[in-house]
Structure 1
Amino acid sequence: MVHSLLAALFSLILYCSSMAELTRFFHPAKSDGTLSLLAIGDWGRNGTFNQSLVAYQMGVIGEELDIDFIISVGDNFYESGLRDVDDISFEESFSKIYTAKSLQKQWYSVLGNHDYRGNAMAQLDPILRQIDSRWLCMRSFIVDAEIANFFFLDTTPFVKKYWKNPKKNQYDWREVAPRKRYISSLLKDLEIALGESAATWKIVIGHHTLRSVSEHGETPELVKLLLPMLINYGVDMYINGHDHCLQHISSTDSFIHFLTSGGGSKAWRGIIMPTMENLQFFYDGQGFVSLQLSATDANIKFYNVFGDVLHEWKITKEFYDYIV
């Protein structure tokens, strides 16, 4: 009983501190210094729209790669997030779907725009971690995994249109408004964290797209306010959801790779709008992404709902160093 109370108190302290600065979590790499993980987004539909099939293949690949954790890039529960901490959707769309042994690892999650349409505070509440200990969702935070630093960013407040026309969609802006002050503080904290990072790999995670050839396209506010910072501090990858597809776009003016992993459930929107960026891969369907990281290499693979590898490539850090 005492242990449970202390654990709850510790979680609450972390939860509250995240509202003032980027809370840092330490997640050790494997004994050989490597790291493996999966990234998935736009999934929470009670198992429908192939969510259960994607979850099954995640379990298979997760075991094969001996993953260390899973990243969720937002829009965790459709259509409008969670009602409260007792909402059955949490178990019906998460706990009872991702049941494979290999997926019983820590899930690090950010909020998407659909999550903000519900009770955003519910997903952030430490009570959910008592229901399912895998769940860790915060607005913005850092996961220090030794060879890699993962910077989780709350991107929904950046998008101006969400703040307009409240009659169409209600957004839970508690602890966020006023918008400009929130974004300014967040970007300041992120810049400090990026500047202090000495990790081999710097990976930023947000729900909204920076580069995309699908339905939502680029997010202008992020391109203006966030992208220059990512370039300046040598970020290697930006991983997002929002567009319900799989994408890999390489930059024309930096070493950043833009990965979309928004195929957790409903997909097949049939929209592709080529841009001036270097489109390496596009798949308008369900699936997920795996990352295998070492001190010198990053191996990235995209999988479909059948577990087939649709696209893969390797980044060699030594090559980057040589070019620089």
Structure 2
Amino acid sequence: MAPQMISILISIFALPAVLCYPPSFINLETEDRNQSSIRFLVVGDWGGLPNAPFTTPIEWATAREMGRTADQLGADFVLALGDNFYYKGVKSVDDPRFQETFENVYTAKSLNIPWFVVAGNHDHAGNVLAQIQYSKVSPRWNFPYYYYELNFRIPNTDSTMTILMLDTVLLCGNTDDFKDQKPQGPPSNVQANRQLVWLQERMARSKADFLLVAGHYPVWSISEHGPTDCLLKRLRPLLLKYKATAYLCGHDHNLQYLKESDIGYVVSGAGNFMDPDVRHRNDVPKNSLKFFTGKASTLGGFTHMEVSKKKLTMTFIQARGTSLYRAVLPKRDL
């Protein structure tokens, strides 16, 4: 299916209103008819620089390795988890940053696949609506609304996967990274509560074998920003109650995997910078941290995920081309 058609499909069920109806499934067209899994890449905080050359060496290295990984291991789509354009997002749908930091960098044929996008705090310093509108310009850029739902059937199986894409800035508030702030509270309580009601309704009715939630801010992190208090209060109880498989995010500029109460927490924020900071290592549940790397020598990284009939396999990959860590989560026990 062409990315344009996927954009039309997801826009149908991306509206913020809470509606009760069977989920619409995205049909990913694959060349291999015997394929029995969905593969995708997760990258956050990949958004280049506001001045020439508009990219960083880490972004270039990560983009090249994403292309190689998608070609060798397969990728049906990419999740882009915010801070898509440093440091103040974009100004309009015609902003040259779309070309300079996105289109001209992720040029591998294997990355000419749908990119499903959410906004981060730096994006909210600019015009997020322009990023949403860019979905009509780029055939692979899919950003239908601030938060939205993706539903997939695992090919040649009876298993399904749902990904709920969140705007954690609208939910928790913005933050000034240069002042090491925590989110200061949502810009609109009405809008935040509307998103939370939408999320709870979607999670409550989900019968998916794999239920993933994705946003920008972390629930748990040992690095500079640490756990997000707002998400611990508002999101984590829903992840537990509705047996989510995993939560995916960026914000901290490294790769992390934590596991708590059978839920996997993935931080994949190494698309543009690397940060070895571990100041919050004592602020996560004991023994929850399974993997961490923030070494600049890795040149960045991302996560490759494969979802088959019975399991989700996550592989953390550095831009130098080495698999660093692998974790497996089973399908939900409903």
The reply on whether 1:264 has 2:280 as its aligned counterpart is no
Greater Cα offset, 285-294 or 240-249: 285-294
Cα separation, partners in 2 of 1:189 and 1:133, compared to 1, 3 Å: same
Deviation at 1:262, TM superposition (A): 0.2
Task: Determine if the alignment matches structure 1 residue 283 to structure 2 residue 293.
Answer: yes
The CA distance in 2 between the partners of 1:43 and 1:312, in whole Å, is 22
Q: Tell me the C-alpha RMSD between the 2 structures.
A: 2.7
TM-score, normalised by the number of residues in structure 1:
0.84
Corresponding residue for residue 174 of structure 1: none
Alignment correspondent of 1:123? 131
**Cα drift, residue 178 of structure 1:** 5.9
Query: Which position in structure 2 is the counterpart of 1:133?
Result: 139
Aligned to 1:171: none
The reply to whether residue 233 of structure 1 matches residue 242 of structure 2 is: yes
Point out the more displaced range, 266-275 or 31-40. 266-275
Paired with 1:304 and 1:250, the residues of 2 have a C-alpha distance of: 21
Select 1:14's aligned residue among 11, 14, 22: 11
- Could you tell me which residue of structure 2 aligns to residue 65 of structure 1? 73
Tell me if the contact between 1:39 and 1:289 (Cα under 8 Å) persists in the aligned partners. Answer: yes
CA contact (8 A) 2:124 2:174 kept: no
Alpha-carbon offset, residue 21 of structure 1: 5.0
Aligned residues: 298
Contact 1:144–1:150 (CA<8 Å) still a contact in 2?
A: yes
Whole-Å separation in 1 of the counterparts to 2:109 and 2:327: 27
2:192 matched residue in structure 1:
183
Find the counterpart in structure 1 of residue 323 from structure 2.
309
Aligned counterpart, 2:89: 81
**AA of the residue aligned to 2:141:** W
- Secondary structure (helix, strand or coil) at the match of 2:101 reads helix
Q: Which residue of 2 aligns with 1:292?
A: 306
Gaps of 5+ in 1: 1-6, 169-176
**Residues 248 and 229 of structure 1: is their aligned pair in 2 closer, same or farther, counting only changes over 3 Å?**
same
Q: Which amino acid aligns with 1:38?
A: L
Deviates more, 1:106-115 or 1:277-286: 277-286
1:39 counterpart residue number:
42
Q: How many Å separate the matches in 2 of 1:72 and 1:236?
A: 19
Task: Determine if contact 1:301/1:310 at 8 Å carries over to the other structure.
Answer: yes
Correspondence 1:152 to 2:165 = yes
Amino acid at match of 1:310: L
Contact kept in structure 2, 1:21 and 1:186, CA below 8 Å:
no
Alpha-carbon deviations, 1:130-182, whole Å to 9, x = none?
432100123100110122100001100233464xx9xx9xxxxxxxx862111
* Secondary structure of 1:156 counterpart: helix
Question: Which residue of structure 1 aligns with residue 209 of structure 2?
Answer: 200
Check whether the contact 1:41–1:73 (CA below 8 A) recurs between aligned residues: yes
Identify if the C-alpha distance between structure 1 residues 78 and 21 changes in structure 2 by more than 3 Å, giving closer, same or farther: farther
| Aligned equivalents of 1:67, 1:257: Cα separation in 2 | 21
CA distance in 1, matches of 2:139, 2:316: 27
Aligned to 2:26: 27
Structure 2 residue runs without a partner (length 5+): 49-53, 154-159, 180-185
Report the Cα distance in structure 1 between the residues aligned to 2:230 and 2:78, rounded to whole angstroms: 27
50 and 178 in structure 1: CA distance in 2 versus 1, 3 angstrom threshold: closer
Residue in 2 that maps onto 1:107:
115
- Provide Cα deviations, 1:196-215, integer angstroms capped at 9, x if missing partner: 11111000000001000000
Contact 2:215/2:250 (<8 A) preserved:
yes
Q: State the Cα distance separating 1:315 from its structure 2 match.
A: 2.1
8 Å Cα contact 1:25-1:142 kept in structure 2: no
TM-score, normalized by length of structure 2?
Answer: 0.82
Bigger mean CA offset, 92-101 vs 189-198: 189-198
1:17 to partner: Cα distance: 6.1
